[in-house]
Amino acid sequence: MWDKGEFSFSTCWNIKRHTTGRVMIEEIKSLGFRQVELNYNVNEMLLSTIEPMIERGEIGVSSVHNVFPYIADKDYDTDSVLLGFDDEEKRQRSVDLLIRSMEYAVRYGAKAVVVHPGEVPFDRNIDSELKALYREFGKDSPEYRQLWNEMLERRERLSPRYTQRITESLEQVSEHAARQGWQVAIGIETRARCYQMPTLMEAKRICDNLQGSPVGLWYDIGHAMMMDRMGLYDNVQELAIVKPYICGVHIHETLELSDHWCPYVHSKDMTYFDHFLDAIDYAKVKVYELKAACQPEEIHESHGLLIGKLNGRR
């Protein structure tokens, strides 16, 4: 129960509680995890005490989350156009930053780099407006439907252009990785805002265009659940199509449009999350990505339920 085996755990859970990397990692180890995902808020100061732990084999690194380590620049944070920039200089900088993240992954023996590849840009955060309408009036309300259709028209019209740019950027990174002989997956992650990329089918198109490259789908279960609820895609149905592309998973559950909760435990739903067990089983890298509100006993309970269900299927 305590040893979490092949499962990894993201530092997003406790990074805001710590100023020393070693203490942060020790807290995760105390939950029974032997591997961590170093998320995009891990900075060089935290790394100064984490790297010796990696070198001594005290902790394994399953994955790092681009842009890694942290840089204080909104143009290249986790909610940006990133690999899809029209501005060639900015796009090239995004490519270089992803290559830098891969260098760290290789150095730490990680299997994957998690990437938020981009978005269809809007002049405002239309996603937060939609979520507010969803909560106040519901998904089927005229208020929600009107703004949703406005978002969707622009998203669908511009998606091919940004998909193409993202594909070109990933091809560039993949070619560099091949020249270096790096064996690290590049996982393009399903996102938490409706204007962000990729959808499951956009991810499939990108992967199909980059066959033979290290690019795969990083299936973030909670994010995909939220996008399904908002109406962007049919998560369960399309998951069956994209499963062969999955290289890694972020394991967490949603309560309505709130994410990063412990599966089964916080929703009190003992069956719906079962839809994602095949994807978890299939993924080479399995990472819990939980919020700070999740308590150790809830994490243990959730993992116990998950393992019991996975073992029951095997």
What region, left, alpha or beta, does residue 255 occupy, with left being phi > 0 and alpha being psi -120 to 50 degrees? Answer: beta
Share of the chain above pLDDT 90, in %: 96
Of the candidates 47, 29, 61, the residue with the CA atom closest to the CA atom of residue 184:
61
Top CATH class, 7-313:
alpha beta
Break the chain into its structural domains and give their ranges: 7-313
Is residue 273 predicted with pLDDT exceeding 80?
A: yes
Backbone phi and psi for residue 226, each to the nearest 5 degrees, phi listed first: -65, -40
Share of the chain above pLDDT 70, in %: 100
Burial class (CB in 10 A: 0-12, 13-18, 19+), 298: middle
Q: Is 314 helix (H, G, I), strand (E, B) or coil?
A: coil
Confidence (pLDDT) at 78: 85
Helix axes 200-209, 142-180, angle to 10 degrees: 30
Task: Tell me the per-residue pLDDT of 51-98, one tens digit each, with 9 for 90 and over.
Answer: 999 999 999 999 999 999 999 998 898 889 999 999 999 999 999 999
What's the whole-number average pLDDT of the chain? Answer: 97
- The beta-strand segments (E) located in 5-134 are 7-10, 35-38, 60-65, 112-115, 118-119
